[in-house]
Copies of this chain bind each other. A is one copy, B any other.
Amino acid sequence: MTARQRVVIIGGGFAGLRAARGLRRAPADVVLVDRANHHLFRPLLYQVATGLLPAGDIAPPLRRILAEQRNTRVLLGEATAVNPHAQTVTVTAADGTAQRLGYDHLVLAAGATDNYFGHDQWAAVAAGMKTLRQAVELRDRLLHAFETAAASRDEQARRRWLTFAIVGGGPTGVELAGQLAALARRTLRGQFHDLDPAHLRIVLTEHGDAVLAPFPDPLRRHAHRRLRDLGVDVRLGYSAADIDEHGITLQSAHGGDPQRLATPTVIWAAGVTPVPLTAQLAEDAGASRDHKGRIKVRPDCTVPGHPEIFAIGDLANVHDLPGIAEPALQQGRYVAKVISHRLGRGPHPGLFRYLDLGTMATISPFDAVADVRGLHLHGPLGKAAWAGVHLAFLTGWPNRLGVLANWAWTLGSGRRQQQLILDTRTVRPAAARPA
Contact = CB atoms under 8 A, between A and B. Distances in A.
Contacts of A382: none
A428 B73 contact: no
Nearest to A147: B76
A164 to B, nearest CB: 16
B67 A191 contact: yes
Contacts of A417: 54, 56-57, 398-399, 402
A420 B132 contact: yes
Interface string A173-210: 00000000000000010111110000000000000000
A36 interface: yes
A30 to B, nearest CB: 13
A295 interface: no
Contacts of A38: 419-421
Interface string A62-93: 01100100100111110000000000000101
Contacts of A35: 424
Contact of A63 (B56, B64, B191, B409): B191
Contacts of A399: 417
Interface of A: 35-38, 51, 54-57, 59, 61, 63-64, 67, 70, 73-77, 91, 93-97, 99, 132-133, 136, 143-144, 147-148, 150-153, 188, 190-194, 398-399, 402, 405, 409, 413, 415, 417-424, 427-428, 434
Given A37-B143, A54-B418, 9 more contacts: A37-B147, A54-B54, A54-B55, A77-B151, A91-B151, A93-B151, A94-B148, A97-B152, A405-B405
